[in-house]
Chains A and B, each alone.
Chain A
Amino acid sequence: MTELSVHDLRVEIGDVVVCRDLCATFKPGQVWTILGPNGVGKSTLLKTLAGLYQPIVGRVAVAGQSLVEMPRRERARQIGILFQDHADVFPLTVTETVLTGRHPWCSPLQGESSVDLERVDQVLDEVGLDGLQDRSLFSLSGGERRRVDLAALAVQDSAVVLLDEPSNHLDPRHQVTLLGGMIGKWRRARRAVIMVLHDINLAVRFSDYLLFLYGDGEASHGLVTEMATEPHFSRLYDQPMGRYQAHDRDLFFPL
């Protein structure tokens, strides 16, 4: 499978330096979470990894090939991204929306095949939206709409999966079973998963690696076991953090 790597990356947005001299390799089967305070450019970094935002310096490569040299279609087969929010203008149905995830795999004039439709039905079943196939997007709740986006990403079958705040709008059960289940599936299928989360405890629970963005261009990353400590989180968020142990888990909370 395919790994995503960044080399000497410098990303800026407005006056904010998101990162400088960032080097990292996101390997197949690894789950990473980007953490940092509001406005440090977590989403911007994620878009840079998707090839949708251009770094000032450095390069992002998938399977050794730089994203800027890669044809869009090929890039879309390699990298899929879930955006933080959505802006629906016209009421596509649930099935139609999820089918858009198959776009990189369909030729321009050929419609989606019955194989694509079966895949969509299967994934809709997984995300618990079975039976809502013909419902209009406008009639869905926030959590259901989020699960439609997750389903569209799942049918894209990309080697690298980027998730911007995937737990938004999901209730605790869906956060843990649905999102956790999907991440586990991606891990077993040897995808590289990189996400942005605000919930430290979900990040610690789901990830193998954490990447911290401090807001001044500095970044650090490492294994969860090394990174998830009170001093590290306190420094990252500029807020004293405490730790509490229960049910064999470390839970972090602001003091």
Chain B
Amino acid sequence: MPARRAYFLPLLFLGVLVAAACSLAIGTIEVDWQQVYQGLVAGRSSLHYEVVMGIRLPRAVNAFLVGGMLAVAGALMQVLLRNPLADPYVLGVSGGASVGALLAIMLGWAEAGVSGAAAVGALLSLFVVFSLARGAGHWSSTRLLLTGVVMAAGWGAVVSFLLAVSPEAHLRGMLFWLMGDLTERLPGGFRVGLLALGLGVSVYVARSLNLLATGEQRAASLGVNTVLLRLILYFTAGVLTASAVTLAGAIGFVGLVVPHIVRLMVGADHRLVVPGSLLVGGALLIVSELVARTIMAPNELPVGIVTAFIGVPTFLFLLQRSAAPRS
């Protein structure tokens, strides 16, 4: 077991690199490994540079960021809500983002405007749920979960309403946004910084997460400031989710299932689950993005559909395997 733990993260990191390399090399336009290398380092005029640096690399980087953010947010949310079924969207962050984004699309705003509106919607939802759940001062996991779920349902109704009344011309764009789609612009340092910050905070509190998972009172009795810890969890998960959703729409499934995949691989110690989720989530989304643009080429599928197609069987396989009797 200890050996397995020591190699776990390096192996996952290797997996991410392999996934990224495949993503750069494979696609409708044939590019061999040498050309990938040339595209990365050589002149900007060549076609290979355009394909590798202009399209595939940004999408792979975005995929890694979004997948990592959602998976870490999911792992944190499951501890915060003490519920294995929790995911980053359960408290309505993606609902708020969707409503913001759809409104912006209806108004014909440019892509930057849509992202901005989604960010506003997500953060608005985050603060409204927090204030309502906080109420008279208690915010038990149950109360937080109920508030968030109801809020998410409310946002869902608004999304349906917007889809129903929007003109035909905008519908396809809106649906693609809702299913999750990756852009071809390299992410700013801001997002990379957010992910790094989120990961840093999560790893710093990871041992406290193990305690919180054994009970809030017990964690408090062992010296954890549970009020502060839960605030940190809520806002770290919320901001990571908001950032991911703003960048790529509401890509489903990653945040729910990746933390469980990691737990099934290496156990429930959050010092491994948090960084492991980042790497597995990133790798899963890189591969999903690759599949999304190649499997029905030249047509492209929304990435969110592919994450489910890849994630569901993987998860079920691991679950079956772990349910087998111990040797």
Instruction: Render A74-114 as a binary contact track against B, CB cut-off 8 A, 1 for contact.
Output: 01110111010011111111001100110110101101000
| Complex contact A92–B222 (CB within 8 A) | no
B84, B204, B210: the one within 8 Å of A100 (CB): B210
Chain B residue contacts of A97, Cβ below 8 A:
214
Interchain nearest-CB distance for B154 vs A (Å): 27
| Complex contact B267–A92 (CB within 8 A) | yes
Given contacts A52-B220, A96-B268, A109-B204, contact A89 B213 (CB under 8 A): yes
Interface residues of A in 45-90 (CB under 8 A from B): 47, 50, 52, 72-73, 75-77, 79-81, 83, 86-90
* Bound form: Cα–Cα A192–B267 in Å: 36
Given contacts A52-B217, A90-B84, A103-B224, contact A108 B207 (CB under 8 A): yes
Instruction: Render B218-236 as a binary contact track against A, CB cut-off 8 A, 1 for contact.
Output: 1011111100000000000
A238 within 8 Å of B (CB atoms): no
| Complex contact B207–A92 (CB within 8 A) | no
| Complex contact B221–A89 (CB within 8 A) | no
A156 within 8 Å of B (CB atoms): yes
| Complex contact B221–A87 (CB within 8 A) | no
Of all chain A residues, the one with the shortest Cβ separation from B207 is A103
Instruction: Render B294-327 as a binary contact track against A, CB cut-off 8 A, 1 for contact.
Output: 0000000000000000000000000000000010
A248 within 8 Å of B (CB atoms): no
| Complex contact B211–A96 (CB within 8 A) | no
| Complex contact B215–A83 (CB within 8 A) | yes
Interchain nearest-CB distance for B105 vs A (Å): 39
Of all chain B residues, the one with the shortest Cβ separation from A72 is B223
* Bound form: Cα–Cα A191–B83 in Å: 37
| Complex contact B217–A106 (CB within 8 A) | no
A15 within 8 Å of B (CB atoms): no
A134 within 8 Å of B (CB atoms): yes
| Complex contact A100–B223 (CB within 8 A) | no
Chain B residue contacts of A156, Cβ below 8 A:
222
Chain A residue contacts of B263, Cβ below 8 A:
90-91
Interface residues of B in 186-243 (CB under 8 A from A): 204, 207-208, 210-211, 213-215, 217-218, 220-225
| Complex contact B268–A100 (CB within 8 A) | no
| Complex contact B82–A73 (CB within 8 A) | no
| Complex contact B225–A72 (CB within 8 A) | yes
| Complex contact B214–A100 (CB within 8 A) | yes
B111 within 8 Å of A (CB atoms): no
A50, A72, A93, A101: the one within 8 Å of B224 (CB): A72
B83, B269, B326: the one within 8 Å of A96 (CB): B269
* Bound form: Cα–Cα A83–B219 in Å: 11
Chain A residue contacts of B78, Cβ below 8 A:
89-90
Residue of A91, A101, A111 most packed against chain B (CB within 10 A): A91
Chain B residue contacts of A88, Cβ below 8 A:
213-214
Count of chain B residues with a beta carbon within 8 Å of a chain A beta carbon: 28
Interface residues of A, dominant DSSP? mixed
B1 within 8 Å of A (CB atoms): yes
Interchain nearest-CB distance for B255 vs A (Å): 16
Chain B residue contacts of A139, Cβ below 8 A:
326
Interchain nearest-CB distance for A77 vs B (Å): 8
Chain A residue contacts of B82, Cβ below 8 A:
87, 89
| Complex contact A96–B222 (CB within 8 A) | no
Interchain nearest-CB distance for A9 vs B (Å): 19
Given contacts A96-B267, A109-B204, contact A75 B211 (CB under 8 A): no
A90, A100, A109: the one within 8 Å of B222 (CB): A100
Chain B residue contacts of A91, Cβ below 8 A:
263, 267-268
* Bound form: Cα–Cα A87–B219 in Å: 12
B84, B220, B268, B326: the one within 8 Å of A92 (CB): B268
Chain B residue contacts of A100, Cβ below 8 A:
207, 210-211, 214, 222
Of all chain B residues, the one with the shortest Cβ separation from A79 is B221
B204, B207, B214, B222: the one within 8 Å of A86 (CB): B214
* Bound form: Cα–Cα A81–B221 in Å: 7
Given contacts A90-B213, A100-B211, A103-B211, contact A83 B222 (CB under 8 A): no
Interchain nearest-CB distance for A193 vs B (Å): 16
| Complex contact A76–B215 (CB within 8 A) | no
| Complex contact B215–A101 (CB within 8 A) | no
| Complex contact B1–A134 (CB within 8 A) | yes
* Bound form: Cα–Cα A80–B222 in Å: 7
- Which B residues lie at the A interface, using CB under 8 A? 1, 78-79, 82-84, 204, 207-208, 210-211, 213-215, 217-218, 220-225, 263, 267-269, 271, 326
18 A-B pairs besides A80-B221, A92-B210, A139-B326 with CB distance below 8 A are A47-B217, A72-B223, A81-B221, A86-B214, A89-B79, A89-B82, A89-B213, A90-B79, A90-B268, A92-B213, A93-B267, A93-B268, A97-B214, A100-B210, A100-B211, A103-B211, A103-B222, A109-B204
Give 6 CB contacts A-B under 8 Å: A87-B82, A87-B215, A90-B84, A90-B263, A103-B211, A136-B267
For the complex of A and B, the 9 pairs showing the least CB-CB separation, nearest first, are A76-B223, A90-B268, A73-B223, A72-B223, A104-B223, A103-B222, A92-B268, A81-B221, A89-B82
